[in-house]
Amino acid sequence: MAILPSGLVAPGLPYLVVLGLGALLTTLLLFGFEPPVGKRHVVALLPWMAIGGITHGFYQVPGLYPAWVAPLFSAPTVYVTTYVLVATVWLLLILLGTATGNLGRVGTYLGAAGLGVLIVFLGAMVWQGIAPAVEFSPMWPTLAFVISLAVTAVTYFLVSLRWTGAVARTGIAGAAVVFAHTFDGVITMIGYDILGSTERTPIPAAIMDFAGSLPTAAYIGSGWLFLVVKVLIATFVVVTFADYVEEEPTYGSLFFVVITAVGLGPAVNNFVLFTLG
């Protein structure tokens, strides 16, 4: 069975070269500067992950991007584009923090910058939503976001009762992992069962197809099983890698960043698509 989602597009060679060189250069510079990285950076990077999801969502709206820009935000290229953007901003903030003696606040500035950019993109989404050709439908996506917050709070509380030490070691970074994948599970469930969307990634599609074959499908739909799987996987990551985050805070936190991004990016992408009808 295929495991990659449908709709993957490889950009032209010039885009691959530019993005490849950009990713390589920014990565080497970050390794050279060795900025302090901790659990709070997982949260600081949340807005940037959401920006990646939004920009890919805009890519899926026909005619929204100029033809020369669109390949940068196709899947999976959007991950590299977002990485290069974040790494560039991070490097500039490191230079600014070094010059002003506020290197310890770079993570805070990184999160604030991402939040500012995210607000601009959310405004652009609303502006696009009021276009006559678009069916602006923010109710279900917003409800999915609120439900995800509630499910995350309950899940993390229950996990803390059983694995108190793991939650203490991962802290807010662990909560970010659980929220990202819970949000992806909830909004996918709502899209599949209520909004009639299809799933383009084979494994989630297979999970929901299996749930649809159960007797419970007539009463609670098919998306619930995907949500359960996502929450269990996120919880497993938090509990299993808690020691790694404590012993290797830099690489452990970066690992949590990657795990969070692969949940939050698709979730926000669905949020955009469902909101714009």
pLDDT averaged over every residue in the chain = 91
- Work out the average pLDDT over 235-247: 95
Model confidence over 192-227: pLDDT tens digits?
999 988 888 888 889 999 999 999 898 999 999 999
Q: Would you state the pLDDT for residue 6?
A: 58
pLDDT classification of 1: cutoffs 50, 70, 90: very low
Q: Give yes or no for a contact between 179 and 149, defined as CB atoms under 8 angstroms apart.
A: yes
pLDDT digits (tens, 9 = 90+) for 63-118: 888 889 999 999 889 999 999 999 999 999 999 988 888 888 899 999 999 999 99
Segment 9-30 mean pLDDT: 93
- Burial label for 72, CB within 10 Å (0-12, 13-18, 19+), is buried
pLDDT at res. 196: 87
Q: Is the pLDDT of residue 182 over 60?
A: yes
Check whether 4 has a pLDDT greater than 70.
Answer: no
Regarding predicted confidence, which is higher, 129 or 161? Answer: 161
Confidence band, pLDDT 50/70/90 cuts, at residue 135? confident
More confident residue, 172 or 128: 172
> Is the pLDDT confidence value at 2 over 60?
no
